[in-house]
Structure 1
Amino acid sequence: MPSAGLSTRRAVQLTALLALTVFYAAQLAGALLPNVPVFIVASVAGLALDLYLTHQQPGLLALLGKVRFDVTTRQLLRDMLIVIGLVRIPDVPPDIERPLTLLLLAAYATHFLCQAVAQFVRRSRTLPILTRNIDASGLRLTIAPPRLLAKQPSRRLLRFSIPGTVGLMLSAALATEVWGIAGLGLSIALSLGGAVYLGTWMLPKKRHANEQQALDWLGRWLAAYKPTVGMYFSGGTTSAYQANMWLSTLAELGGNPVIVLRERFMVQKIEATDVPIICIPKVAHLMHLEHSTLKVMLHPANSGKTSQVLRIPTIKHAFINHGESDKLSSCNPYAKAYDEVWVAGPAARERYQLADIGVDDRDVVEVGRPQLSPIEPYAGPPQGAYTTVLYAPTWEGWTNDPGNTSVILAGENIVRALLADPGVRLLYKPHPMTGSVDPRAGAADARIQEMITEANAKRSGERPGADAAAELERRARELDELTTTAFRRGADEVERMMLQSTPEADRAERVAAATTAWEAANWASFPEWEHQIITGPRPAIYTCFNQSDLLISDVSSVVSDYLTSEKPYAVANTSGLSEEEFRAGFPTVRAAAILSPEAKEIPELLETVREPSKDGLSKARAELKVHLLGPSDPPSITRFNQAVVDLCEATVARNERVARRTSEIPGQRETEAQEAAEEAEMEAAANGGTTSDPEDADQVTA
């Protein structure tokens, strides 16, 4: 249970913090009394505990860092107490204190020297661009320096301090300076050697292209590849799915597609694809795209950095969104900043006009939803002993309106009613951001998962054999090998870029095949009666659609996508509106069964799923599918590709008009310079033939 795990982790952290305090107090007491055994044991135990915390309790270390009690401070305090102990212990000769103290200071000096070199090397290995699926050998990429030296100053300090601490303890116990000098000398040698070794990454043999060379390389690659259409994406760590859902569509487009990212971490968040990926973090470098052959940029999401690429006039921009629903966020006023808004069907077009946010109807293009092709059509009522129900609620949203998610007000009632029916198998797949805004949603989600776990414990029946589990393990291993690039732990972004610079022409197809095989093995590994909680990226939502006989969700894009199958679906009404107002206000629910927060409609809903003759909404679902997603002929991918071609042609026509106009009419900068020169001449005439300051005249003209 999550709460139990959290309590255990907090107990461990509190115990470790108490032990750290005790060891410092014992070390101080042993130094002042003095008591050599207590002093030595406390010093060594404190260092050992710090090593444990560094490897096993990063959360506690982060908390200590916030109060400025970080690793360096703790080690410095520990060493200061050791110096006090050397002064206070009577058997230690006074003449050895000074050299040992000086050596200890030298050890810290070499540590900070190594850290300075590490910082310099890390900065020098930060390229202005990152790529995937592109041959970047021209950038002279190299492997990263050891992780301990380059990225882990805390662990480096503690590990390199071990010889010094042990040596000082032996000097205190044996009353001789030899051990302290040897131990501190070894610590100094380790830090100094690390600094020298790190410095070799600054030599020409290990140093990659500088910023200007990298940008020049980017220009040459763009000129050689000649991209025509790109997908631009910027977002947080949990938003990558918004771009990933368009990868297969992008790969099927004609021309030369490219993916343009803005955040460095996002390069590894994009799933397997053969499409070249370029990450350009700085807006000044982004402007290099203006001089490329790119004609169209597709945008699956809005972000603060979207406005930066919209400044490029030689590219036309289309907003394709990452899903359509009746939520207000599906009609964001930001959409009017794009040249065109591409929607699935007539419903979204009407939605923009009703929202009255400034989007011209002539700029709205219906292209369907090409990524919905894996969804299987309705094949009749449940055939087995169980009716599979998919409950896929959305999250609470940034506005935190009551009607955004059903989890808080209705989720437990819905799940309780479903679990009460012995003929139901429940698939629970909450939105990954559930609880990120409202803690009540996270708490309700946890309770729902507990309910499902308890319900499974009360069920029994035959389970698939060991062969099914072995097959799932084999398929999972194959899929992981295809989707997870094996980077060594010390690899930085430059090394990862080097390893991913060779395009694999059929990798996306192999991943798709492996995913299909894994999904089949996954469903076969569970008994048909077992409820499932699905919180990870696998299995994907569309394969859950194919397994289900009924969807229960909220007002979200999940509903629109599910309508592709024309299977029965229900939407929870937690908005406070009446059913009539709810249906009128949200077109996507017009063919849905409406659930109240109490979910008392569940038994009747299940009956209509099992007996299609009682389902009075089948015709409405077929009509609403066309209204939401557009016609099935021509296929969505054909319409999408044609929209790309049309917008590319519009870009070419625009650029030709501008070029023609520029050649016929003097440029604005030239006109301003001419006007400034004329003003300078008039001023010179008024001053008797000379300007007041020749440099000022040059600056105005320039």
Structure 2
Amino acid sequence: MKALTTISNAAAYVGQRLVTRQHRKFIARHATELFRLPKGEDRFKVALYFADEMVNAYQIRQWYEPMSQLAQQVPIVVITNRPDTALALRQECPLPVHFAPTIQDLEKLVDTQDLRLVFYVNQNIRNFQMMRFNSPNHVFINHGESEKAYMWSNQLKAYDYVFSAGQAARDRLGLHLKNFNPLERTRLIGRPQIDVNYSVPYSFNSSLPTVLYAPTWEGDRPSMSYGSALTHGETLINALIEDGGFNIIFRPHPRSGMHSSQYRNAIDRIKRLLTEGDSISAGRLIFDDSAFWGWQWSQSDICITDISAVAYDFLATGKPMFVSTPVSLEATVETSPALQKIASLNTKQTENILELVRDALSNENTQLQEVVNYYFGDISAGASMSRFINESLALVSEGCETGKKLPKHSA
């Protein structure tokens, strides 16, 4: 059995290498714009570095619109080192995409462009291929606000600055990171994604309230076991469908089921329930696996989610919500103002989800605004986007003509 597994893994590796070579050949022949490096005043001054596969593209997609607005002020490029990602982003990304598969390609880009600022949306170890260059300001912008342990990773010390949503994030970093001064190393920008006008791809019954259920994935280690689809999801979705008085948007995390077949099966069962129920329900029942995240906030009246960035995205709307209580005792759960003041939902409470949802829709939670201010600051229309653009331009102005990079023999 072990020998068969080894052979299978080897075959998969060879197959992947073949596909990679094919992608590179296609780029060399038909997608040469992925190597384009502008000259003069058009040279790139800002970059967004994404050294990852498309399964994690949700992390970069939410930054398309803020970066597009920043691009109206300064030339921006998205850099990737994977040929499959480069080709996929070429089709969907509104910004120029540059394919830099080797260190030499990155050095050429840095030598010829005027990079002042490089953004990173995740903590992929390959980020360090770009961070070896001294001149640009390297800034971690993350892909959402949350109370996950990921938010205070020691890796954040490697960046020149961290763009954080609000005072809560700054306090969190000060509490958990040693030898890190959050006042000097963070810039508070709110959540610029809430200032984007999203088009809604589905029609809904406007006479019924819309419930967004957006569980996170199962996690890849015990401390990150926040996902509720297996423990809460089927019970609450069943109850909402049987009641018939709601539109439902079910949006599981894109990585759901990658580490647990049980979790993946729960997602599939919920999908079947929605598909079968949609044809006979007065409400619209949606299994949402669309590429873009954002329109769901404006469409929904209430959200049920987990300890994840979704909770904090929805928090900024001021609408009612529930955050599930993880069943796993190994999940890292920090005491926080948000988790104290946002209604929680354990598995026992899930049995009464109809009563809880209707009560939340009819009664205002007066403590939410205080929490919103702490986590995001001013969320009035356009305020977050303005802070993001202003802080970015300040770092661009702070930078100098790039030309001071590490010697080519350094690693």
Q: Counterpart of 1:282?
A: 102
Equivalent residue for 2:156? 335
Name the SS of the counterpart of 1:318 in structure 2.
strand
Aligned residues: 379
Residue 252 of structure 2 aligns to a residue whose secondary structure is coil
Asked if structure 1 preserves the Cα contact closer than 8 Å seen for 2:122 and 2:142, the reply is yes
Question: Which residue pairs with 1:365 in the alignment?
Answer: 187
**413, 430, 448: which is aligned to 2:235?**
413
Secondary structure of the residue aligned to 2:243 is coil
Task: Give the Å deviation of 1:436.
Answer: 0.6
Partner Cα separation in structure 2 for residue 322 and residue 296 of structure 1: 18
- Take 1:594 and 1:415, find their aligned partners in 2: how far apart are those partners? 17
By relative contact order (CA 8 Å, sep 6+), the higher-ranking structure is 2
Shift of 1:359: 3.3
Q: Secondary structure at the match of 1:604?
A: helix
Deviation, structure 1 residue 604: 3.0
| C-alpha deviation, 1:431, in angstroms | 1.2
What TM-score do the two structures reach when normalised by structure 1?
Answer: 0.49
Runs of 4+ in structure 1 deviating by more than 6 angstroms, as ranges, are 120-126
Structure 1 distance, partners of 2:160, 2:24, is 38
Amino acid at match of 1:408: L
Q: Residues 646-669 of structure 1, C-alpha deviation per residue, up to 9 Å, x if partnerless?
A: 22233239x89x89xxxxxxx9x9
The structure carrying a bigger helix percent of its residues is: 1
Distance 2:150 2:102 in 1: 28
CA contact (8 A) 2:341 2:371 kept: yes
Q: CA deviation at 1:387?
A: 2.4
Distance 1:234 1:588, change over 3 A: farther
Distance of 1:226 and 1:309 partners within structure 2: 18
Matches within 5 A, 1:89-238: 127=28, 132=33, 218=37, 221-223=38-40, 225-238=42-55
Q: How does 1:546-565 map to 2 (within 5 A)?
A: 546-565=298-317
Maintained 8 Å contact 1:326/1:587? no
CA displacement at 1:447 relative to structure 2: 1.9
Cα deviation for residue 546 of structure 1 reads 2.0
The within-5 A match list for 1:461-500 is none
Give the C-alpha shift of residue 393 in structure 1.
0.4
Higher strand share: 2
Partners of 2:238 and 2:230 in 1: how far apart?
14
Taking structure 1 as reference, are residues 249 and 585 closer, same or farther at Cα in structure 2, changes over 3 Å only?
same
Letter in 2 for 1:285: D
Please point out which of 327, 335, 339 is paired with 1:585.
Answer: 335
Change (3 A) 1:239 1:339: same
Distance 1:536 1:293 in 2: 36
Please name the residue that 2:389 is paired with: 641
Residue 409 of structure 1 contacts residue 597 of structure 1 at CA under 8 Å; is this kept in 2? yes
Letter in 2 for 1:595: L
Which has the higher Rg, Structure 1 or Structure 2? 1
5+ residue gaps, structure 2, are 1-6, 16-20, 199-203
Match of 2:134 in 1: 313
1:394 Cα deviation after fit:
0.7
CA offsets 1:120-175 (integer angstroms, 9 cap, x no match): 999877749965488x6xxxxxxxxxxxxxxxxxxxxxxxxxxxxxxxxxxxxxxx
Deviations 1:402-434 (A, max 9, x none): 741011222122222323423223221111211
Structure 2 counterpart of 1:643, which letter? E
Conserved? CA contact 2:205–2:284, under 8 Å: no
**Contact 2:213-2:251 within 8 A present in 1 as well:** yes
> Measured at CA, do residues 131 and 589 of structure 1 come closer, stay the same or move farther in structure 2, by a change above 3 Å?
farther
Residues 562-606 of structure 1, C-alpha deviations (whole Å, 9 max, x = no match) = 1222110001102457xxx96x62443333221111313413322
- CA shift, 1:251, in A, is 1.7
Note the C-alpha offset of 1:340.
0.3
The residue type equivalent to 1:449 in the other structure is K
SS in 1 for 2:367: helix
Query: 1 CA distance for matches of 2:130 and 2:336?
Result: 33
Which residue of 104, 114, 124 maps to 1:303? 124
Cα distance in 2 between the residues matched to 1:365 and 1:559: 22
Is the CA contact (8 Å cut-off) linking 1:550 and 1:567 kept in structure 2?
A: yes
Aligned to 2:324: 572
Change (3 A) 1:132 1:629: farther
Partner of 1:441: 263
Unaligned regions of 5+ residues in structure 1, if any? 1-61, 71-119, 137-217, 377-381, 461-527, 660-666, 670-702
